[in-house]
Amino acid sequence: MHPFQHFLLDGFNQVAADTWADDERTLIQPVFFNLVPDLPTALTELTELRRGMAKMAAAQGGALIEAEVVPVGGQPALRQVIKVKLPGQPTGQAFLGSYIVPKAACSAVLRVQAAESGPTGVREATVMARVGPPNYFRPHPYGPEGEGGLPSHVADDPAYDQQFPRHPLTRVRRVLAQLARQVELHPAFTALPPFTR
């Protein structure tokens, strides 16, 4: 029994066991963890949850771009988007979006991933040229715990997604939004005791 049901989208084809991809190499992966979730706090403590997740992303050399608690399949879920450096590459980033549905002793995670290919940094350079370097970089939105990994800047704002429809960050956000509208969770999973910290 996999917790996620009805998560397949038009244009995605199975490329491995539990991995689906579209023509732009945006990936969807449903994952079940039979372990107590490693979230820093309960979903009801959003400020602390964001700080903790930002610290975890920065410690791994990336950055938490956004984190919200939203309903997925009728259950509370952490929706987050993280950016990381492309492994083994001098430039470029990958963007990892996920819905984490925690329970007391396990969790269901629906991941969406897309990476830059070809010329990298176009979105960032274009936005920096438009707003100017002094207005480009900013403190991490979830506090100093998010500092130390990739920098926080205005080019990651959703306001720029429409101007860069094929950018991997835009694609991750678009697929996450599509999934939220149609994902269902197996009744046996939804009936499990909730996650508390």
CATH entry, 4-187, from 3.30.70, 3.40.1000, 2.60.40, 3.30.160? 3.40.1000
Q: What is the pLDDT along the chain (197 residues), one digit of tens a residue?
A: 579 988 889 999 999 999 999 999 999 999 999 999 999 999 999 999 999 999 999 999 999 999 999 999 999 999 999 999 998 888 899 999 999 999 999 999 999 999 999 889 999 999 999 999 999 999 999 999 999 999 999 999 999 999 999 999 999 999 999 999 999 999 999 999 999 98
DSSP 50-100: HHHHHHHHHHTT-EEEEEEEEEETTEEEEEEEEEEEPTT-SS-EEEEEEEE
What are the extents of the domains in the chain? 4-187
- In this prediction the pTM is 0.96
